[in-house]
Amino acid sequence: MDMDDLSNNVIAGSELDVSVQKVLQNTYMLLGATIGFSAVMAGASILLRVPYMGLWMLLPYFGLLWMVEKNKNNSSGIAWCFALTGFLGVTLGPILSAVLALRGAEPIMLALGSTALTFFAASAYVLQTRKNLSAMGGFLFIGLMVAFVGGIANIFLQIPALALTVSCMFAILCTGLIMWQTSMIIHGGERNYISATVTLFVMLYNLFTVFLTFFGMGNDE
């Protein structure tokens, strides 16, 4: 099942407003395209042996995110969306290279499968039940910020239990935010498919890196 199938299968025979259907379809189409572009950029990053950026990646990330939000209502917003997701693909290259060197391709395949399963399950649940999860947004974003700060702190503290806790928090919160964003679309709270795409992509990126940590790095002695 691809992004278009998810949208079409749920929308078919439903009572969703035409404008909601259009936002969903545009969001899933752009999400699929940006995932493909990001994968190409990750592959190029591996081939070119781009070094790991660490926390320095946050500077261009937030800059590109700001440009997407600034231009989300005009055609250049799509270009900035591809720039942001392509950059995130580049940042994955060094991580994937390390996993390939340590564990081979299996952890990457497991992480991809787990990310896809989580996304489709979370999205389909909201699309089928039509649950309004708009009230969860504030709680989820605050939780994500707490997990982010915890992750930054653990770079210096190097506490395994904290690392595992933060990873679990990210996985749960990102899944919740996928559900929240989907709910916002179907209940009229989100009408800009570029913003919706970026939110979903970033949550998928975070989920993938968390699963990659579990499968690729979790068995190090």
Domain parsing of the chain, residue ranges = 3-217
What is the b/e burial string over 82-101, where b = at least 16 CB atoms within 10 angstroms of the residue's CB?
bbbbbbbbbbbbbbbbebee
Residue 132 zone, left/alpha/beta (φ > 0; ψ -120 to 50; rest): beta
pLDDT score recorded for residue 221: 42
The whole-number pLDDT of residue 6 equals: 58
The pTM of the full predicted model, rounded to 2 decimals, is 0.88
pLDDT score for 13 = 41
150-206 per-position pLDDT tens digit: 888 888 888 888 888 888 999 999 999 999 999 999 987 888 999 999 999 999 999
Per-residue model confidence as pLDDT tens digits over 96-154: 999 999 888 999 999 999 999 999 999 999 989 888 888 888 889 899 899 889 888 88
Token pair for 183: 């709910």
Picking from 3, 99, 2, 80, the residue whose alpha carbon sits closest to that of residue 42 is: 99
